[in-house]
Structure 1
Amino acid sequence: MKSRIFLYLFVFTALICLYQFVSTNNLQKAMNSDVETLKTEVQELKDSLQNAQLKILDIQYFSLENNDDALAYYDHLNLKNPVRYIEDKLLETNEKSGDNPLIPYAGMESDFKINKIKVLNHKWILADFSDGKYWGDLVIQYELKDDLSVDFTLLDHLLYTRSD
């Protein structure tokens, strides 16, 4: 009788060990699968981040902030941020009542005003304008003088047509 109890106890212990082994093995396989999935996702995110950084560098290529040769034109003026200064001067043209004088169109819904500005280099600016419903783009030439005044000259313009 005693030997049967030890036999049953041994079989029961063997079954528990077998269950633990299979369960742990399945858990290990699931964890390995999760790790591989996470490694793949991390690599995809790294690739995506690298592509985004390359796009940012591409976008910043035509920018006064990243053009040392163009910035050299303003070294003698002691401006901390020439781009911001030029943008502010251009936005000051919006403060006049009525349409912005650099925009060669009459506002249809309200007055045309400059919204977004991209200073390309020491001579040119791209700008976006709208009246709330209609919009367009401008190419502006500018000259920052030694007395810190800025002259703007419209080179080209475009008004988009609405297709309702």
Structure 2
Amino acid sequence: MKNVILYALIFSLLFNVFQYINSTKILEAKDKEVVKVKDRLKISRDSVATLANANYFALESDQDAQEYFYSNGLDYQKIAIKVKEDLITLNENKNGNKLVPYEPIDGKPFLINTSKVLNHRWIIAEFSSGEFWGQILIKYFVSEGKPTEFETVETVLYEKQTKE
């Protein structure tokens, strides 16, 4: 009987040591995992903050510009879509978009590729002819029932990149 009790005591001691070592390893692994998740969460929060700052100049985040449209009985989301469509419609001219003040180069007209409505008055857009490209700042005016009026404020044309 003494041997059985002695074996049971040794077995329970070994079992407890095994459980302690195993739980310590599991706890350390979970701690490492928590640290990794916290690091990823910090990186994600920083990315979200960067994106929020990057979208600072946008009609969607400019309460004053939105209020300007609402006070005139207009929906800013519909206006943004209409303005972009009207801007792209100007690309249908065979000499290129009339807002881009550059003549076609090698027969390739300058067309507006993409644009962003900054607020209730300005748009920034990127244009190109295939080889040359640039950016343009446009002032726009919206009137109900009329096409959008555009006025070029400033443009930048980048030099053609040469391969070295």
What count of residue pairs does the alignment treat as equivalent?
Answer: 159
Does the 8 A contact of 2:91 with 2:97 survive in 1? Answer: yes
Any idea what SS the aligned residue of 2:138 has?
strand
Matched, 1:60 2:50: no
Greater CA deviation, 134-143 or 85-94?
134-143
Matched, 1:95 2:64: no
1:83-162 aligned at under 5 Å gives the runs: 83-108=80-105, 110-162=108-160
Paired letter, 1:41:
D
Any idea what SS the aligned residue of 2:94 has?
coil
What residue is the counterpart of 2:28 in the other structure?
A: 30
Does the 8 A contact of 1:138 with 1:154 survive in 2? Answer: yes
Aligned-residue Cα RMSD (Å) equals 3.2
Q: Could you list the per-position Cα deviations for residues 53-102 of structure 1 after superposition, in whole angstroms to 9, with x for gaps in the alignment?
A: 5425xx23442663234324641x67861011011111100012232122
Matched, 1:47 2:48: no
Structure 1 residue runs of 5 or longer lacking an equivalent are: none
Paired letter, 1:159:
L
Q: Distance in 1 between matches of 2:104 and 2:52?
A: 38
* Structure with larger Rg: 1
Any idea what SS the aligned residue of 2:131 has?
coil
Paired letter, 2:56:
Q
Paired letter, 2:117:
V
Q: Distance in 2 between matches of 1:161 and 1:105?
A: 13
Quick one: structure 1 residues 17 and 146, their matched pair in 2 at CA, closer, same or farther if it must change by over 3 Å? closer
Q: Distance in 1 between matches of 2:157 and 2:116?
A: 18
Quick one: structure 1 residues 83 and 7, their matched pair in 2 at CA, closer, same or farther if it must change by over 3 Å? closer
Displacement over 6 Å in runs of 4+: none
Structure 2 residue runs of 5 or longer lacking an equivalent are: none
Any idea what SS the aligned residue of 1:60 has?
coil
Any idea what SS the aligned residue of 2:28 has?
helix
Q: Distance in 2 between matches of 1:78 and 1:44?
A: 36
Q: Distance in 2 between matches of 1:80 and 1:36?
A: 42
Does the 8 A contact of 2:123 with 2:140 survive in 1? Answer: yes
TM-score by length of 2: 0.73
Greater CA deviation, 132-141 or 83-92?
132-141
